[in-house]
């Protein structure tokens, strides 16, 4: 899987809500009412990620979950990142 071009990244970002680009990653922070809801969300993300064979970096802070997507094996953003971001957005 090849890295996306700048134009492809710009186009792909328009199709995901709330995700921001930082260098070769896309990042989104989700907020919940408490730790239990945050961890339930993390579990659902984990199941999606496992099915996609593409795993985000996850940072949990009580009621906040920060997800970071990049394709480490390609050294940047690929379609896999944006496909998983779109799937996460449906949760």
Average pLDDT over residues 2-24: 96
User: What's the whole-number average pLDDT of the chain?
Assistant: 97
Q: What per-residue confidence (pLDDT) applies to 18?
A: 96
Query: Which residues are CB-contacts of 86 (< 8 A; sequence separation ≥ 6)?
Result: 15, 16
Question: What are the structural domain ranges in the chain?
Answer: 6-89
The architecture of the domain spanning 6-89 is: 2-Layer Sandwich (3.30)
Q: What is the residue whose two structure tokens read 């920060």?
A: 66
Instruction: Decide if pLDDT at 1 tops 90.
Output: no
The Cα–Cα gap between 64 and 36 comes to 11
Which pLDDT tens digit goes with each residue over 30-73? 999 999 999 999 999 999 999 999 999 999 999 999 999 999 99
């Amino acid at each position: 899987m090849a890295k996306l071009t700048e134009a492809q990244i710009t186009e792909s970002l328009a199709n995901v809500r709330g995700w921001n680009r930082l260098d070769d990653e896309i990042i989104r922070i989700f907020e919940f009412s408490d730790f239990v809801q945050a961890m339930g969300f993390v579990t659902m993300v984990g199941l999606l990620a496992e099915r996609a064979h593409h795993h985000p970096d996850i940072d949990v802070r009580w009621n906040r979950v920060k997800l970071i997507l990049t394709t480490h094996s390609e050294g940047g953003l690929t379609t896999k990142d944006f496909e998983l971001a779109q799937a996460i957005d449906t949760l």
